Amino acid sequence: MSTLLRSAALLLCAGMMNAQASEAVKKWDFNIGAMYEIENVEGQGDDKDGLYEPSVWFNATYDAWTVSVAMYQEGPVDYSSMTRGTYFDRPEFELRYRFIGSDDFTLGLTGGFRNYGYHFKDEHGAKDGSANMQRYKIQPDWDLKLSDNWRFNGWFAMYQFANDLEKTGYSDSRVETETGVTWTINKTFSFKTNYYLERGFNIDGGRNNGEFSTQEIRAYLPIAMGQTTLTPYTRIGLDRWSNWDWQDDPEREGHDFNRLGMLYAYDFANGLSMTLEYAYEWQNHDEGKNDRFHYAGVGVNYAF
């Protein structure tokens, strides 16, 4: 689930930049954009397992407030039979308030709501019911200047899930965070190292479905060349386990994983910007075969 909140993260980053830009003159700033992401499992010619995530978003910032709306379609898919298909029907609403905003320190708080719609199909491709689940979010974010060349920033999201959890297999609670330091070497090069954690758990002691844990070190090396920015990056897996198959096998399955990727971003200097991304990830499982993933994403954003 490494890419599920990528569009939400873009929304937050855009909101933070707009909020800082609006300090001098209080005015409305807007962003509208779209992204399409795919992740395919290498060598899965029989069942064609993969992941697809189209999304569109719009946000508006005025002074310390940012309002964001988005629409997603995300989730695993069997391309041959669509046994767990979804439609483009996952709306999200977020409201962020910037309590402190300066070059030395920024502190914000976001509250959000997302609806998950599932439309199941059986092994023959016929309709086999649906599910409608909600997710509530509280997320502080921060950016602290340590020196002229060093900054400490990140975010910490807390989620609560409700309705149809037995159908979707989700746990009722989750936390997710990415935080670390950025070293600005010069105008061209910088280096960022983050710790990432995503943990699904159940507050209800009578449930154990959908629990998982992912811990990573994420390192980025942005290279700014005028209107172009190239960012090679890596994700080094520290620990990952899950029990998504809790109905048949309650034991947690461990995974060893790593990723290498490249993000290309271009700013057209007229409000329009775009991104292209490719990454290769390998996973070794305690149970079953090992997997190799190819991730690709393309995004476009217009600020006005």
CB 209 within 8 A of CB 165: yes
Mean pLDDT of 16-41: 76
DSSP for 239-283 reads: EEEE-TTTTT--SPEEEEEEEEEEEEEEE-SSSEEEEEEEEEEEE
Is the predicted pLDDT of residue 140 greater than 50, yes or no?
A: yes
% the chain with pLDDT above 70: 79
DSSP for 53-115 reads: EEEEEEEEEETTEEEEEEEE--EEEETTT-TT---S-EEEEEEEEEEEESSSEEEEEEEEEEE
% the chain with pLDDT above 90: 59
Tokens of 160: 């609560």
Is the predicted pLDDT of residue 10 greater than 60, yes or no?
A: no
Which helix (H) or strand (E) element contains residue 27? Answer: none
Q: Which residues contact 9 (CB under 8 A, 6 or more apart)?
A: none
Is the predicted pLDDT of residue 16 greater than 60, yes or no?
A: no
Tokens of 262: 């490249």
**pLDDT-based confidence at 17, cuts 50/70/90?**
very low
Tokens of 38: 């795919």
Task: Dump pLDDT digits (tens) for 241-258.
Answer: 887 654 445 566 777 889
Q: Higher-confidence residue: 299 or 87?
A: 299
Mean pLDDT of 182-200: 97
What is the three-class DSSP state of 238?
strand
Least confident of 24-33, 107-116, 295-304: 24-33
Least confident of 37-51, 142-156, 263-277: 37-51
CB 111 within 8 A of CB 146: no
Q: Is the dihedral of CA 266, 198, 34, 86 positive or negative?
A: positive
**For position 197, what pLDDT does the model report?**
98
Instruction: Output phi, psi for 221, to 5 deg.
Output: -130, 80
What is the three-class DSSP state of 22?
coil
Is the predicted pLDDT of residue 133 greater than 80, yes or no?
A: yes
Mean pLDDT of 211-237: 96
Q: Higher-confidence residue: 19 or 139?
A: 139
pTM for the whole thing? 0.84
Q: Tokens 């080094």 appear where?
A: 236
Task: Dump pLDDT digits (tens) for 63-97.
Answer: 999 999 999 886 655 545 544 455 667 899 999 99
Is the predicted pLDDT of residue 19 greater than 50, yes or no?
A: no
Is the predicted pLDDT of residue 28 greater than 90, yes or no?
A: yes
Q: How far apart are CA 204 and CA 237, in angstroms?
A: 29
Radius of gyration over every alpha carbon of the chain, rounded to an integer in angstroms: 20
Instruction: Output phi, psi for 21, to 5 deg.
Output: -70, -25
Domains of the chain listed by start with CATH number: 6-303 (2.40.160.40)
Composition of the chain by helix, strand, coil, percent to 5: 5, 65, 30
